[in-house]
Structure 1
Amino acid sequence: MNPSTFDTIKTTVQVTSVVLSWAINLFLIYLIVKKSNKKMGNYRHLMVFFCFCSICFSTMDVIIRPIIHSHKSAFFMMMDLRNRAIPVHVANAMVCVMAGCFGVIIYGIAIHFIFRYFALERHGRVKYFDKHLLLFWLTIPLLGGVIWTLVTLLLFPMSSTSSEYLR
């Protein structure tokens, strides 16, 4: 496939995906806030939080337009800076923040499943998600995202070794 054709298809898919992500997640937030039963309690807040995180991740994806590449035992997320007026250090930070957004999503899914497990278990452990404890649970994905960002920024920086490996 011609590289310009691939880039056009990739950009079209990414833009379409972010538009769908915004539309579906905003509609879901509307349904959760306006139409869901109040008995759902803090589960509603967890779902809105997850929708918001998904919107942020899809927006980062369309801005960064990452290129994911794997070779042997290595996995790379890169950003094509050709025809873009973004300094290399800013692009590096953006890719690291996107990795952090991915971490937030992963931790968010885990918290979501913990809540659902407690709810299905019916031993009263859902109380661990009440009031001020909910804020604690919501900070776990955010802290995880910060950690993922810092790990990628500090432990996996761009280097001549990684650049040579990619060549």
Structure 2
Amino acid sequence: MNGFEWRKIQHDFHIISTTFAITFNIFLIILISTRSPKTMRSYKYLLMGVSIFEIFYSSVEIIATPIVHSFHTIVVVLTVVGDWPRLLMRILTSTYCGSFGCFLAMFAMLFVYRYYLVSGNSKVKYFESWYLVPLAAIVLFCGFIWGAIGYLMFGPSEEIDEFIRLDLYEELGLHPENITYVAPHFYLINEAGEKVWNWDCIIGMSGVCTIVASVPLVLLQLPLVILFIFSLLNIHLGQIAGIDTFTIFLFPAVDPLPTIFVIKAYRLTILGCLTTCRVAPLSHPTSQVPNANLVSVANIGGATAPRSLNLKYSTPIYLEP
């Protein structure tokens, strides 16, 4: 498959997945706003914040259409400049990387919240009312750090341009002059065939890999960890490396679905629309439903809270068997 055809497949998949991502997240925001049980308390605001950010993330994808690729020892997040100003596309590429950093911090925060709920920890109060403001600021700050590092430390350079030039054309049908990129790398190979190590990147990525191990794996972390491992070992993946582009694009489209279908109030609304063309009524409070299954939080990103829990600080949501 030539480079143009491969990029065309990636672009088409990107448009489809991003369209679904924006649609599903808008629908989830409407459900959260109109059909959330009172027992959800501040959790609904956390869910809404995730959906709003995923819409922003998908919007950046639509404009920048980034491609995640690997060239021997270099992992590249690149965008085609086209008729856009090069500086603008570089900023958008760094913003895209920063959004990924926000995701990591955001889901780490959600897992801490769920842990406090199921364990009955009194610290769950720090996720109520105005406490959400500094928590949101921390998430945005993490994203800013990711984006700033990508822009300032791993931007385009003549050495990287020459290192990727041949493979870039063979695999993607592009020239370095046509793109801008963020390119963390472990080492380059000079004209004498000697490895020139980038120790700052190696130390930094070790910390990143430690952080990402605690958050969703399949669509975000695992593909990138594999990419960095192969880069460290100087194993060139070729067009296979582009699979990361598909999984990252797919994530914001898949992420809202567990919340939509696990929380009973949202699920009943969907089923009511599909079967009777009307909104199904909310169920009675869980205390009035015999033999109810209780969960403390909804399933997001593949983390399901233990069933049959009704703790002091939990926010029970009734789920039908």
Same fold (TM over 0.5): yes
2:26 pairs with 1:23:
no
2:47 pairs with 1:47:
yes
2:155 pairs with 1:157:
yes
The question of whether the paired residues in 2 share the 8 Å contact of 1:92 and 1:158 is answered with no
Instruction: Note the C-alpha offset of 1:65.
Output: 1.1
Please name the residue that 2:125 is paired with.
127
- Residue of structure 2 aligned with 1:85, choices 75, 80, 83: 83
Query: Quick one: distance in 2 between partners of 1:17 and 1:87?
Result: 26
Return the structure number with greater helix share.
Answer: 1
- Residue of structure 2 aligned with 1:138, choices 123, 136, 139: 136
Structural RMSD (CA): 1.4
The question of whether the paired residues in 2 share the 8 Å contact of 1:64 and 1:94 is answered with yes
Structure 1: tracts of 5 or more residues without a match: none
Query: Quick one: distance in 2 between partners of 1:59 and 1:15?
Result: 11
Greater Cα offset, 8-17 or 126-135: 8-17
Given residue 79 of structure 2, which amino acid in structure 1 is its aligned partner?
Answer: M
2:148 pairs with 1:147:
no
Instruction: Note the C-alpha offset of 1:96.
Output: 0.6
Query: Quick one: distance in 2 between partners of 1:28 and 1:135?
Result: 22
Given residue 136 of structure 1, which amino acid in structure 2 is its aligned partner?
Answer: P
Given residue 55 of structure 1, which amino acid in structure 2 is its aligned partner?
Answer: I
Given residue 53 of structure 1, which amino acid in structure 2 is its aligned partner?
Answer: F
Query: Quick one: distance in 2 between partners of 1:163 and 1:121?
Result: 52
Instruction: Note the C-alpha offset of 1:71.
Output: 2.5
CA spacing shift, 1:139–1:77, aligned 2, 3 Å: same
Greater Cα offset, 112-121 or 71-80: 71-80
The superposition leaves residues 119-148 of structure 1 with CA deviations (integer Å, 9 ceiling, x where unpaired) of 111122210111111111111111111111
Given residue 30 of structure 2, which amino acid in structure 1 is its aligned partner?
Answer: Y
SS in 2 for 1:68: strand
Query: Quick one: distance in 2 between partners of 1:120 and 1:62?
Result: 38
Instruction: Note the C-alpha offset of 1:6.
Output: 2.8
CA spacing shift, 1:154–1:4, aligned 2, 3 Å: closer
Please name the residue that 2:108 is paired with.
110
Please name the residue that 2:10 is paired with.
10
The question of whether the paired residues in 2 share the 8 Å contact of 1:100 and 1:149 is answered with yes
Instruction: Note the C-alpha offset of 1:19.
Output: 1.0
Instruction: Note the C-alpha offset of 1:3.
Output: 3.5
Query: Quick one: distance in 2 between partners of 1:121 and 1:161?
Result: 52
Report which of the two structures shows the higher radius of gyration computed on alpha carbons. 2
2:68 pairs with 1:68:
yes
Query: Quick one: distance in 2 between partners of 1:12 and 1:21?
Result: 14
Alignment length, in residue pairs?
165
The question of whether the paired residues in 2 share the 8 Å contact of 1:119 and 1:125 is answered with no
Query: Quick one: distance in 2 between partners of 1:3 and 1:74?
Result: 18
Instruction: Note the C-alpha offset of 1:62.
Output: 1.9
Query: Quick one: distance in 1 between partners of 2:163 and 2:56?
Result: 31
Q: Which has the higher contact order (CA 8 A, sep 6+)?
A: 2
SS in 2 for 1:140: helix
Given residue 48 of structure 1, which amino acid in structure 2 is its aligned partner?
Answer: M
Structure 2: tracts of 5 or more residues without a match: 166-321
